[in-house]
Amino acid sequence: MPASSSTSVGLSGSFGGLVARRQAEGTLVVQPRMGFADPAKMRAGLIAAKHARACTVGTITLDSYTRMGDHASVLAALDRGDELNGYPIVGHGVATTRSVTHGVAERDFPIQVRHGSADPRSIVTALLAVGLDATEGGPVSYCLPYSRTPLARSVEHWQESCELLAAARTQDREPHLETFGGCMMGQLCPPALLVALSVLEGLFFVQHGLRSISLSYAQQTSAEQDTEAVTALRRLTAELLPDVQSHIVIYSYMGVYPCTPAGARRLLAESVRLAVATGAARLIVKTSAEAFRIPTIEENVLALEEAALVASAARDAPAPWGMSAAPGTATGTGGTGIYAQALALISAVLDLADDVGRALLLAFSRGYLDVPYCLHPDNAGRSRGYLDSAGRLQWQRIGSMPIRHLAEVPAQTRMTSAGLLDSLSFVQNKFDHAGLARSIGS
């Protein structure tokens, strides 16, 4: 990564360039999830994020009608004055969106458009038209969990979208694309597969013209295991994507969130420390309102400022679990083998075809990639993850994934409905109950 980050030439005005500059300064970039249908409120949210006491970038999260490409429903809702769960960038049109970002988006405050679509072509066209050039997703990560779109169609749509983004490159404009592959399903996907999907989608982006990308990883259930995973992701990025500008982005936990404010803050803080300890450049935060509803602008600002404070403290202190990186991950020989499993998955996929998109399709049809608990028709659905007694995500079944020689799979366990509920609420309980124990003890 250090080598790849230094290749920015004339990119300082773009998303990836800004993040690289902040990383060089030793500052973690923090970013909200935020989207409002009302243009004035959307602008207010961006301005609040910009002026938060933290090093921030902006977010425009789109609504689910726009995600599905159902722009007629957007227009009908706007006509009726109905609430939408995000900003409809296609429906609002260029002039309105320009009035939202004008004077807010600038060199030191780039804005990323976040959507969740398996067909983002109209979204990419809309964001480029207003002068934005950063977005996120991926042909696998925005198809399998949230849609019924056939994977082959998603790959085509994403190839076109990458080409649209890449074609907008100018001397001082470098479009940026982040893979959501490291966040698949939010929870219960063992880290090696998250790392592999993140890298594979990054390779897909680069094959279709992107030169500035970020690779994601969502905080899971064990800080130590997450540290090993992100270290593996950084190493694989440096090895397989050496010629593009890239950085790592961490997502605060995406599963069932703690109910108590203190539990939510502790979980956020742990994700910040993960980002700092692993040399990630950017963090997508969650708020203490997350378990109940869509957070307000103010709650987002509080989360951003809290994350910045924890990051600043963590920079000067060793990681709380006593290691700055998991043992052996630098060489790939130790740890729990996340690097080796991820590399085996990536290699097996890339061996299937020179074209990354085609390789991904073949890999899913053969079950070489098989996302646990994912019900999409193009996912084999033969793998399972589970939480071991130490709170680490492990494989329970690997289906046809080519990691049999690398993964320990228990002989006779199976996921029960009660076990699934326990696993899904493990993090919520752990962080909420830590507060309970403290208040009882005090």
Partner 1 sequence: MSTDQSMNTQQGNPLAVVVSGLSSDAHTWNLVYMQLVLEELGHTVTNLGACVAEEELAARCRTIQPDLIVLSSVNGHGFQDGLRAITALRECPELMTTPAVIGGKLDIVGGDPTMIGQLLDAGFDGVFTEPQALSAFRSFVAFVSDATVETGAGAGEPSAADVRPGPATVTSPVGA
Tell me which residues touch partner 1 (CB under 8 A).
Answer: 64, 145-148, 373-377, 415-417, 420-421, 424
The DSSP-derived string for 84-141 is -SS--HHHHHHHHHHHHHTTTSBTTB-EEEE---S--HHHHHHHHHTT--EEEE-TTT
Nearer to partner 1, 64 or 125 (CB): 64
Write down the least CB distance from residue 150 to partner 1, Å: 13
Q: Whole-number minimum distance, CB 420 to partner 1, in Å? A: 6
In the chain, count of helices (H) and strands (E)? 16, 10
Query: What is the spatial distance between Cα 314 and Cα 324, in angstroms, rounded to a whole number?
Result: 11
Write the CA distances from 407 to 7, 40, 128, 277, integer angstroms: 36, 51, 43, 26
Residue 59 beta carbon to partner 1: minimum distance, rounded to whole angstroms: 20
Indicate the residue among 71 and 173 with the shorter CB distance to partner 1. Answer: 71
Cβ within 8 Å of residue 284, ≥6 positions away: 31, 32, 33, 249, 250, 251, 252
User: With respect to partner 1, which residue has the nearer C-beta, 262 or 424?
Assistant: 424
Structure-block tokens of residue 62: 């789109």
In degrees, to the nearest 5, what angle opens at C-alpha 413 toward C-alphas 431 and 383? Answer: 80
Minimum Å distance from CB 198 to partner 1? 21
- Asked if 247 and 23 touch (Cβ cutoff 8 Å), the reply is yes
Q: How far is the CB of 152 from partner 1 (least distance, A)?
A: 17
Nearer to partner 1, 171 or 417 (CB): 417
Q: Which is nearer to partner 1, 412 or 442 (CB)?
A: 412
Compute the least distance from the CB of residue 76 to partner 1, in Å. Answer: 14
Distance CA 370, CA 393 (A): 16
- Of the pair 143, 285, the CB lying nearest partner 1 is at 143
CA separation for the pair 437, 35 (Å, rounded): 36
| C-beta of residue 212 within 8 angstroms of C-beta of residue 245 | yes
**Nearest CA-CA partner of 60 in 114, 14, 98, 21:** 114
Can you spell out the DSSP letters for 30-55?
EE-----SSHHHHHHHHHHHHTSSS-
In whole angstroms, give the CA distance from residue 184 to residue 194.
Answer: 7
Q: How far is the CB of 50 from partner 1 (least distance, A)?
A: 30
The neighbour count for residue 172, using CB atoms within 10 Å, is 12
The one-letter code for the residue type at 440 is: I
CB of 385 to partner 1, least distance (A): 12
Residues 6+ apart with CB under 8 A from 420: none
Least CB distance to partner 1 at residue 193 (A): 17
Name the minimum Å distance from CB 233 to partner 1.
Answer: 25
